[in-house]
Structure 1
Amino acid sequence: MKSRAVLAAVLLTLASVARADAVSALRDFAREVKSASAQFKQTVNSPDGKRSKSSQGSFEFQRPNQFRFAYSKPFEQLIVGDGQKVWIFDPDLNQASSRRMNQALGATPAALLAGGNLERDFTLKALPSEGGLDWVQALPRQADGGFQSLKIGFKGRDLAALEIVDGFGQRSRLDFSGLAVNASLPADRFRFVLPAGADLVEQ
């Protein structure tokens, strides 16, 4: 919500309420949403803002620490967290890598959405509304997530976007659509089976 000259005091009051509600929305989301699925579009911008690339796919999670990112365009890639390990599979290379969950997750965006303890891992700060969304900044309590900043955007009480700046200054934004919460998700959605003939690199 942007303050304007007319009714500035009223608008500032409304902005303050909206920002507080965004923090509450994230806390409610972390407490009440045990599973969810959505489509996403991702835009990645270079640190200087001159180059960008786009991708899209689907996202699912189930607490605690189970998630699935399935990129479909422009290239396929699958990222699965099964609660014990995080698996990344590249069909074009027919290669998978795995890493233990406690080493790979840390205070990352996936941990924020699918992790078990929001308040333990992150410090939350309300930000001004922008682009029709109410934003919350989540700062990792331990700087081990490999990123500089993380923002979460809500439209009302619904998760709408994530914006991440990584350790190199690269900015990624995911916009979600078709969000379905607390739906029953098959257990095999969060189980990775190495395809026949695929190489595996364990980290």
Structure 2
Amino acid sequence: MKLWPSFIGMLLAVVSSFTSAGGEQQRLIELLEPLASSTGQFKQITKDASDAVIQSSEGTFAIQQPGKFMWRTSAPYEQLLVSDGQTIWLYDPDLEQVTIKPASGQKDQLPIRILSGDFDLLGSEFSIQSGAATGSQQVFSLRPLAPGSLTNIDLVFDGSQLVAMHVQDASKTVTQFEFVGRRDLTTQDEAQFKFQIPEGADVFYDE
């Protein structure tokens, strides 16, 4: 099964008039900002509504705020998701297909758009609650404001480090991401946000 990463997905309760709501949003932004220019590895597990594992994968990611990201799944299927902040490319080497989308307005990419610095989404699309998990961990729960919206996101921090993200869709399918080995981007890493369409690949446009 191959899915757009729910990044890849991939990142609140109902907006409240309490002043603490703004404080939670600002605290979350402060924790996410260090991701502004970073790369690392991820492991991904997707479970259905009965908690049965239906997909597992792993790969590498890179983020450069605002708006640039690379999400490469290496196993069990190779797949590449890239954005330069204006355009999103999804490349499937097995099928030799490239799907191209505009970066703005992609509801299925809300989690990774948040991670890559689109913090306006935190106030416009979600409400935020935070609570302790275990030990030094803290969870920020993002819940959609609009009725019928599809994505619930939980962001798990260990101290100041983002270590996991859980994304639940309308069918109660949950995709769990674990992040490890984060480091700052180098100049060479920045080339990952540019995508060259492979010769001979079929190209599809999804507006």
- TM-score, normalization by structure 1: 0.79
Whole-angstrom distance in 2 between the partners of 1:202 and 1:127: 41
Instruction: Report the secondary structure of 1:112's partner residue.
Output: helix
Counterparts of 1:188 and 1:202 in 2: how far apart (Å)?
23
Tell me the secondary structure at the aligned position of residue 108 of structure 1.
helix
Q: In structure 1, the residue corresponding to 2:105 is in which secondary structure?
A: helix
1:39 corresponds to which letter in structure 2?
Q
Aligned counterparts of 1:144 and 1:192: Cα–Cα separation in 2: 34
Per-residue Cα deviation, 1:159-181 (whole angstroms, up to 9, x for no partner): 10000001221100000100114
Q: Which residue of 2 aligns with 1:70?
A: 72
Q: 1:176 aligns with which of 175, 179, 183?
A: 179
Name 2:166's counterpart in structure 1: 163
Instruction: Provide Cα deviations, 1:58-98, integer angstroms capped at 9, x if missing partner.
Output: 01110111000000011100001111111111000000101
Give, in whole Å, the separation in 1 of the partners of 2:50 and 2:137. Answer: 25
Q: Partner residue of 2:195?
A: 192
Kept in 2: contact 1:37–1:181 (CA 8 A):
yes
Aligned length: 182
Structure number, greater radius of gyration: 1
Gap change, CA 1:103 and 1:22, over 3 Å in 2 = closer
The CA deviation at 1:192 is 1.1
Distance (whole Å) between structure 1 residues aligned to residue 149 and residue 185 of structure 2: 27
Could you list the per-position Cα deviations for residues 20-58 of structure 1 after superposition, in whole angstroms to 9, with x for gaps in the alignment?
x99776321333442111100000001222343210000
Q: Tell me the equivalent position of 1:139.
A: 143
Give the Cα separation in 2 of the matches to 1:76 and 1:182. 23
State the match for 1:47 in structure 2: 49
1:59 and 2:61 are equivalent in the alignment: yes
Cα 1:136/1:183, change in 2 over 3 Å: farther
- The gaps in structure 2 that reach 5 residues or longer are 1-22
Bigger mean CA offset, 113-122 vs 150-159: 113-122
Matching residue of 1:5: none
Do the aligned partners of 1:108 and 1:145 also contact (CA within 8 Å) in 2? no
1:150 aligns with 2:153: yes
Taking structure 2 as the reference length, what is the TM-score of the superposition? 0.77
